[in-house]
Amino acid sequence: MPLLIFARLLSSIASLAVLYGAGYLLWSWYDGDVYITATDTLERTREDWRLVLGVALIAFSFLGRFVIVPLLGRPDTAETRLDLQRAAGDILDTPTGASLYVEQHGDRSKPTILFTHGWGLDSTIWQYAKRDLSSDFHLVFWDLPGLGKSKAGADHRFDPTRFSLELDAVMEFIGSRGVVLVGHSVGGMTIQTLVRDAPDRVRSRVAGIVLLNTTFTNPIDTVFGAIVFKALRWPLIEPMLFLTSMLQPLAWLDAWRAYLSGSAHIANRVQFGRKVTRSQLNAVTLLGTRNPQGVLAQGNLGMFRWDASEAMKGYDGPVLIIGGRVDLATKIEASRTIASDAPRARLIEVDDVNHNGFLENALAYNKAIIDFVKGLPKRDPSEERHDKIHVIPVAELAVRK
């Protein structure tokens, strides 16, 4: 998302300045000042404050997150722990060349909800959904190609159009009919693309759609401060993303430096409102760090060339749209536009949450999803099948123009 890209750039420059400042202080301390004494001998003096400050700044550059995170988030009552969220999953090989990690929770005889996460994250981010929904529903989570445990093909294109093909493959894989699709951010964009490009398959397989903090077009058009980002797109943002993709090893090192220093946490803070906790902020930042930076850059470039305006006009099923009133990455106006297009849409606007509202106010988001799914018409159980299909006909997933 353009806001996060720009925030990361500014915070990275600031943290690099701190690191370079530390280097200068240490060098100037070592070099010292040389003068000639009354006896015509050369002596060197060093100012110890330069050494102390330089060492302190070096330490801050690699340990700063322990200081910064407590300043940016509230204390946790239930810590978000990404590494504890993985269960035994399956690897699905698709005709697009991707190998997708798919994880299932709950009773498979119950209504199925399929979750698609936002860009830069992976399926571990749905911790609260697993906690609140797994007793009543069959939950399916997957990692987008190139993120988490999913692998992309050699010539994979990272954009919502290609992701929609892989979402279609996951639906085929789990075999459930009457599935409810839930997507956050680029996950919501992926669902809208599937509605646009494969309306018949959506109509036959999908019982309802839930879109969380997403947009219907190039996110530069619906971000806070869009006029600034449009002006910066070609001279700054796109060249920076191309360089990140080309210089993946250097980008990886810089991403971890930014994470350790806390500057990455400062950047990610722009996607949260007042209620963010420290572990939520760290979880999102950690995922955005350990996922390949080149892949993230290519995905952002792909989103800049995407549009599904009015796609939801062609879907006559029930739609729940949840947006944050202080969402800076995809402003609430984007959710309102989607809601006005979809014939059977309901829009919920949540106060005081930003782009990652499903974390900040998980209770409100998950309750709305539970009520939505339980309110859907019951399907004939004979229509359900839960066999796993590992080979999907290429014709089913041909790239749609």
* Rounded CA separation 284/268 (Å): 7
> What distance lies between CA 183 and its chain's CA centroid?
11
Kindly state the percentage of the chain with pLDDT values over 70. 93
- pLDDT higher than 90, residue 80: no
Per-residue pLDDT, 401:
31
Beta-strand pair 319-324/206-212: parallel
* Rounded CA separation 392/395 (Å): 9
> What distance lies between CA 196 and its chain's CA centroid?
22
- pLDDT higher than 90, residue 256: yes
Question: Which span out of 305-309, 379-383, 396-400 was modeled with the highest average pLDDT?
Answer: 305-309
Beta-strand pair 138-142/42-45: unpaired
**pLDDT tens readout for residues 296-350:** 999 999 999 999 999 999 999 999 999 999 999 999 999 999 999 999 999 999 9
Per-residue pLDDT, 379:
63
Burial 141-169 (b: 16+ CB within 10 A, else e): bbbbbbbbbbbbbeebbbbbbbbbbbbbb
**pLDDT tens readout for residues 354-376:** 999 999 999 999 999 999 999 99
83 CB-near residues (< 8 Å, 6+ apart): 124
Instruction: Yes or no: say if 98 and 166 are a contact pair by the CB < 8 Å rule.
Output: yes
* Rounded CA separation 190/156 (Å): 16
CATH class of the domain defined by 82-378+389-397? alpha beta
Domain chopping of the chain, boundaries? 82-378+389-397
Query: CA–CA distance from 377 to each of 106, 152, 328, 342, 380 (Å)?
Result: 20, 37, 35, 18, 10
pTM exceeding 0.75: yes
* Rounded CA separation 94/244 (Å): 27
* 74, amino acid identity: R
Query: CA–CA distance from 102 to each of 126, 265, 381 (Å)?
Result: 13, 28, 23
Please compute the mean of the pLDDT values over residues 268-282 and round it to a whole number: 95
Per-residue pLDDT, 83:
62
Mean pLDDT, the chain, integer: 91
> What distance lies between CA 373 and its chain's CA centroid?
24
Name which residue leads in pLDDT, 350 or 88.
Answer: 350
Per-residue pLDDT, 387:
39
pLDDT band at residue 82, thresholds of 50, 70 and 90? Answer: low
Short-list 355, 314, 266, CA closest to 68:
266
pLDDT band at residue 85, thresholds of 50, 70 and 90? Answer: low
Please compute the mean of the pLDDT values over residues 220-228 and round it to a whole number: 96
- pLDDT higher than 80, residue 236: yes
**pLDDT tens readout for residues 94-152:** 988 999 999 999 999 999 999 999 999 999 999 999 999 999 999 999 999 999 999 99
- pLDDT higher than 50, residue 390: no
Per-residue pLDDT, 166:
97
- pLDDT higher than 60, residue 50: yes
Please compute the mean of the pLDDT values over residues 180-195 and round it to a whole number: 98
